[in-house]
Amino acid sequence: MNASDIKERNEGGAQQPGKVWLVGVGPGDPELVTVKAVRALAEAQVWLVDDLVPASIQNYASPGTQMVPVGKRGGRCSVSQTSIQALTLEHARAGRCVARVKGGDPLTFGRGGEEAAFLRGHGIEVEVVNGISSGVAAAQSLGIALTHREHCHGVTFVTAHTRGDGDPDWCALAASGTTLVIYMGMLRIASIRDALLRAGMRPDTPAAVVMQASCSDERQWTGTLLTLADAIAAGLESPAIILIGDVVGTVPVTKASAPEVLTLADLPPVFSPLPAVLLPSPTEWERGWGRGPEALLADPS
């Protein structure tokens, strides 16, 4: 159902509720927005926009679209989740098509599941439009795979704090042998380091932090678990993704720090020297070499 369908239906009788799209617009690079997201954004009459959505996404809005900022940022004055859900429901009940616009993927630490359940519980049609999560984009920016047969058997996406401001089970995560992709962890980066070290993770485990993954102002830091908090001293801050695990050690060597290229003289021989060309003796030449292949065939000796 699109905006035209809803308008036609409402013109024919009593007011009917609209539809809500939970739209993930990716990590920030506008070229990573999906075709389906672009269509949903163009259809929507109202956008309820999270704080981390880049301004360039507004280029996908139709003329006259109502923009409502409803951002939430840790440690800052924000719109409450309850208020966001109530406002979304209000617009949908008024018969409008609503795009609940979120950075990354709405179902990966985006509270998309909570919002979808709330709206469906009130009889509102909801469609989720997935986006590329910032954790995946951070790995791509570093040039690494999150899973690798030679380094790890899996990947774990985890937020640095649970509901009620608790902590994840860092002991279980340290023992998992998976790549850890940690969201919303910059304010707790030192405590994350300490918890994983206490849990037995190696101090030299490779680690990285990617701030504003895929955006023009992206910044990166690489090091080890032991030096993880140095990312703060290097100027990285939220929003950022923390990645920890052996696979992080496969970050490609940058051009500035690449080793000096070896010369041919430094390389071991690949092929054996070619054998010397054997020229026929004068006697062999006289017996046939100088008279063409027919002479050789006629005189096999």
* Active-site residue (options: 7, 72, 169, 246): 72
CATH number at residue 49: 3.40.1010.10
Same domain, 234 and 148: yes
What is the Cα–Cα distance from 294 to 300, expressed in whole angstroms? 10
* Active-site residue (options: 19, 102, 105, 184): 184
In a domain, 127, yes or no: yes
Which of 250, 268, 284 finishes a domain? Answer: 250
- Taking only the tens of pLDDT, the chain with its 301 residues reads 566 665 556 555 567 899 999 999 999 999 999 999 999 999 999 999 999 899 999 999 999 999 999 987 665 668 899 999 999 999 999 999 999 999 999 999 999 999 999 999 999 999 999 999 999 999 999 999 999 989 999 999 999 988 777 899 999 999 999 999 999 999 999 999 999 999 999 999 999 999 999 999 999 999 999 999 999 999 999 999 999 999 999 988 654 444 444 454 555 554 444 444 454 555 554 554 444 444 444 554 4
For the chain, the domain total comes to 2
The secondary structure element, H or E, covering residue 114 is helix 112-121
In a domain, 56, yes or no: yes
In a domain, 300, yes or no: no
Nearest Cα residue to 101 out of 139, 151, 46: 46
Segments forming the whole domain that contains residue 235: 135-250
Give catalytic status of residue 184 as yes or no: yes
Nearest Cα residue to 27 out of 241, 188, 221: 241
7-35-220 Cα angle (round to 5): 130
The secondary structure of residue 95, as a DSSP letter, is T
* Active-site residue (options: 19, 29, 50, 186): 50
Residue type, 93: R
Residue type, 283: T
Same domain, 139 and 239: yes
Give one DSSP letter per residue of 192-244, joined into a string: HHHHHHHTT--TT-EEEEEESTTSTT-EEEEEESTTTTHHHHTT--SSEEEEE
The answer to whether the CB of 8 falls within 8 A of the CB of 100 is: no
Same domain, 120 and 140: no
Q: What is the pTM for the complete model shown? A: 0.78
Give one DSSP letter per residue of 28-79, joined into a string: S-GGGS-HHHHHHHHH-SEEEE-TTS-GGGGGGSPTT-EEEE----TTS---
